[in-house]
Structure formats: C-alpha cells, structure tokens
Structure 1
Amino acid sequence: MQVIFNAPFYNISASPQRRIILDFEIPADEDIQKAQYSVLDVIKNLQDIDRPETAEVNFINYKQGIFTLQAKFWVAVGANMVKVKSNALLQIKNRLDEIKIPLVSPTNINILSDKPENH
C-alpha cells in the first residue's frame, strides 16, 4: 500500500537553527491574555520571518504568581538570526510598555569577578 500526501510539509529537523523561541515572565495580576495577543501581533509583523501564520505565543508555566509566555517563530532563509531576535525582543518590550504590562524583573545576580574592586 502506498500513501501519498498532497499537502505541503515542513521538515523541522532540517533547519532547527532557523526557529526562535523567546520566553517572557509576566505577573499573573496583569492582563495576560492582552499580553499574549500583543506579543503575537508583534511577531507576525516582524521583518525577516518565515510563515508568520505559524507563529505562536503560548502560556507554558505558572509559578508563584508569574505566567511564562513563550513565543515561537521561524526566521526567513538568509536572514540574520541575531538581528531578528534582537528586533523581536525590542519590539515586544516596547509593545508591552505601551499597554502597561511589566515584565518580571530578573532576580539573578551576576558576579563578574572574584576579586573585589578598589575604589
């Protein structure tokens, strides 16, 4: 028996480096659905993305009053991944600022040197 598929398919494993996944943490007492729609709108209108209709923004975690939103989208062949990611981050941050939805501040402390600085 032979099965023939007429629908186009995408080999995700052939080019995993072209997919960008971004995580954002938003306080649960904010309008998280508005945040979700806003991030998706930004992504679908970015330059140099491929198949914008496949872009998605989902809630992937809820912990200690914080929702994690995950944005996934494909970068066009030949586009600069770093620039596309940087532009996406900047535009998403700007949009969330516009609609007055804060991102959770990171609580990580980076130690740059094990030697104390002399002032």
Structure 2
Amino acid sequence: TIRGLGRSFRAFDSLDGNRKIDRGEFMSGLQENGVDVTAAEANALFGLLDTDNDGTVNFDEFLVGVRGKLNQQRQAMVDKAFLKFDADGSGTITAADLKGVYNCNHHPKVISGEMTEDEV
C-alpha cells in the first residue's frame, strides 16, 4: 500500500528526516532491512531511483521506483480526481479547493468531537 511504502521511505530517511534519502541513508536502510546486495549493486539501484540526479531520492522517485508507473487507466483516474479537487484550475490543490469538495461533517474526528470541521 502507499501507506506501507511511506513507512518504508521514512525508515530509510530516519537519519535526518529531511524527506529525502541520500546515498548513505539508502545504504544503511538496505542493510537494516536485510537486503543482501553488493555496494556496486546498491549504488546502481540508487542511481536508478534518483531520476533527477540531485544525489537524493525523494518520495515520488521512491514510489515510482518501487511500485512502477501508473497504467493509462489509473493515471486517467488520478487526473480526473485532481481536476475535481483543483476547483480554480490553478494546477495545485489548496485547502480552499478541498473545503469546496470535501464534507468534513462525516470525518471520524469531527463525529467524535475531537476536532472541528475547520481543524480537519
């Protein structure tokens, strides 16, 4: 799942928590998870994941590298959902955009009284 991949990413990024995995964190993460590869193999894998060649692997690069790209049908669904949430057509989804399409009344924390609609 995406949540599980997020946990894996954070475990690799645990050294500094900057939301990017550098080569050292990657090597440590492989060792800690019992992945038996040579240093050359690990370096080659890191190079494949670091698609923008900035010396780090961000979550998007990690996700695509581990899970692969979305097929055309799934990408179309994601694009359709994005357009629904991007109410002003700006190309970004803001809290205001979400507020216009998401009814917070049914959120479990609102129902339980832990949070207000505005907090959610």
TM range (shorter): under 0.3
Query: Normalising by the residue count of structure 2, what TM-score does the alignment of the two structures yield?
Result: 0.24
Greater strand proportion: 1
TM-score (norm. length: structure 1): 0.24
Q: Which has the higher contact order (CA 8 A, sep 6+)?
A: 1
Higher share of residues assigned helix: 2
